[in-house]
Amino acid sequence: MKLKGLMTLAFAVSMVPASATIARLQALGMTETDNEGSYYIQDDRNIFLNVANINDYKDTVILEWGNEGSDFGSDSLQTDKDGQAKAKGGVFKSVGNGVMGVYLGNESNTAALLRGVGTAAKHADKTFSGGDAMLDGADNQVDLFYGQSSSIGDWGVNVVYAEGKDAATRAYNIAHAVRLGLKNEGWQAFANISTGTTVRQVQDYGSEAVFGQFEGKLGLHLGGSYDAVKSDSYTGTVYGFAKKFDWEQTDSGGTTSASLGDAPPSAGGLTRNSRGQAGTVDGGFMTWALGYGSKYQSGKGTLFTNIEYRHKEIEVKFNAKAEAKNVVVPVTVGYEHEATSWLTLRGSVVHNLMGYRENNNYGSLNYFGNIAANQEFGADTNGLKVDIQNSTDVRAGASLNFGKLRLDGLIGVSTTGGVISQRTDGSGKYQETGILNGDRLMARVGMVYNF
């Protein structure tokens, strides 16, 4: 009886999910813009992918170290980057048969980048010149969670809300969304719905006041997964998802002046002339993917592999339509190993088996919209298909385990960034790559405490 009890306990302990943070999933190859989780690796970050996962992470405090994030044009619009992480975190507590939670500061990178794209062209140019006229990003976001187990599986719901205003710049922004999720023993499904976004701002240019607005329409992120192969040591998961978001952007100011010239190389070297368009134009993006991810467990280690087909495209319907498309087939091989009782090490390599980009008319986008497009889709190809080069990316991470408390982080990051094989000094030269520095123990640190 005692032996049975011990075995049950050991099994229960081994079934405790590998609870961790953004750093863990990034070290294992996650490349999602919003770091919302993995479709085949179990992790507490997955609550932002499928909120039903909250049922696996009750009685947990999560802290993601960071600050205000990386300025995207101005400090009113910021993104969460590896070297300039955004502070966030929350608590999840079991209540009766369910789990309640609150998570703070989990603003979306996608939302920030789209607001950058949707900023009026003159506002963006004013920002470039040293002002701050970008549309404001979502700020002080609150995520409220509730989940429960039922006869058909675990379910969860998450309501997202962020609002801000600044009467001095006649700026206002509001965003709200809801996530719905369901999961069972071998499958899961979710629907994450952006129910509304409105961002607007007015700036004066001498006698001219320019109004800019970004109005989001219904946004959907639908997806699911199925464990097609499952044994004691191996799980193979088929998954798929589609994200779609459309918006209207209004610019009363029209194109930027033809005499602005190019930005200096240090600021991207982009031309600032004749960007934007007066009036309201539609924009939209679509991302979908189908993939297969596997997890093979052997002793204290786990091997992760993944292959997927991913298609993402975006367009803003100016007269000269700005559009970008990436099609990639990345393969990921990752590992995680319990090196000692207090140290877990992990790493991955990601590489595109096939990948091309097909972009056009970046010149129509405002200055910072152009930068966002370069960042997410690569440089303008004038409508031609161009292979994506140098896609190989190696990452590594570690967890320091102190019983119910864990510290996660990326390791091997020598400078300010979090990717060990893609550091540059801004001039395109790689520097300090492949180095394990003792003074920089971990980057993008997260703390998880189970109580």
Partner 1 sequence: MKKQIVLATIATLATTSAYATKARMNALGQAQDRGSFYINDTRNVFRNAARINQTNNYVVTEWGQANAVGTEEAPNAEGGFFRQAGSFNYGLYLGSDITDNSTTDGFADDLRGLTGGESYSEGGFQSRSNDLDLFFGGDAGVEWGARVHYANSSTEQAAPAAEKKQSTLELGLGMVMGDLNAYVNYTLTNEAEVASANNDKLEDDGSMNIGVGYDWNDFTFFVDYDKSAFKYTDNGGAAVATSQTVLTVGTGYIKEISSTSRVFTDISYKMTSAEDESATAASVIEVDRSELPLTVGFETDATSWLTLRGSISQNVFINSQKVKVGTAAELSSSLTNTTNVNAGATLNFGKLMVDGMIGTNSNNGTAGTADDDAGVLDLDRLMTQVAVHYWF
Please give the DSSP secondary-structure letter assigned to residue 435.
-
| Cβ-Cβ contacts under 8 Å for 161 (sequence gap 6 or more) | 141, 142, 144, 175, 176
Is position 159 an interface residue for partner 1 (rule: CB under 8 A)?
A: no
Contact 119, 366 (CB under 8 A): yes
Shortest distance in whole angstroms from residue 176 CB to partner 1: 13
Shortest distance in whole angstroms from residue 88 CB to partner 1: 6
Q: Which two tokens stand for residue 79?
A: 């993104």
Shortest distance in whole angstroms from residue 19 CB to partner 1: 14
Q: Which two tokens stand for residue 430?
A: 């790689």
Q: How many other CB atoms are there within 10 angstroms of residue 361's CB atom?
A: 19
* CB closer to partner 1, 33 vs 391: 33
Angle between helices 367-377 and 121-128 in degrees, nearest 10: 90
* CB closer to partner 1, 85 vs 350: 85
Contact 212, 123 (CB under 8 A): yes
Shortest distance in whole angstroms from residue 109 CB to partner 1: 15
Largest CA distance in the chain: 86
Phi, psi of 227 (to 5 degrees): -80, 95
* Among the listed residues 71, 72, 105, the one whose alpha carbon sits nearest the alpha carbon of residue 90: 105
Contact 216, 194 (CB under 8 A): yes
Site for partner 1 in 350-389 (CB under 8 A): none
* CB closer to partner 1, 137 vs 330: 137
Residue with tokens 């140019």: 125
55 to 94: interface string for partner 1, x by CB under 8 A:
------x-xxxxxxxxx---xx-x----xxxxxxxxx---
Give the separation between CA 26 and CA 32, rounded to whole angstroms. Answer: 9
Site for partner 1 in 214-253 (CB under 8 A): none
162 to 201: interface string for partner 1, x by CB under 8 A:
-xxxxxx---------------------------------
Region binding partner 1 by CB under 8 A among candidate stretches 284-292, 347-355, 365-373, 403-411? 403-411
Shortest distance in whole angstroms from residue 374 CB to partner 1: 21
Contact 99, 148 (CB under 8 A): yes
One-letter amino acid at 441 equals L
Shortest distance in whole angstroms from residue 87 CB to partner 1: 4
Size of the site for partner 1 (CB under 8 A): 52
Contact 357, 381 (CB under 8 A): yes
Q: Which of 186, 262, 383, 402 contacts partner 1 by CB under 8 A? A: 402
Site for partner 1 in 274-293 (CB under 8 A): none
Is position 313 an interface residue for partner 1 (rule: CB under 8 A)?
A: no
One-letter amino acid at 55 equals N
Is position 24 an interface residue for partner 1 (rule: CB under 8 A)?
A: no
Shortest distance in whole angstroms from residue 189 CB to partner 1: 30
Residues within the interface to partner 1 (CB under 8 A): 61, 63-71, 75-76, 78, 83-91, 102, 104-105, 139-140, 142, 163-168, 402-405, 407, 409, 416, 438-445, 447, 449, 451
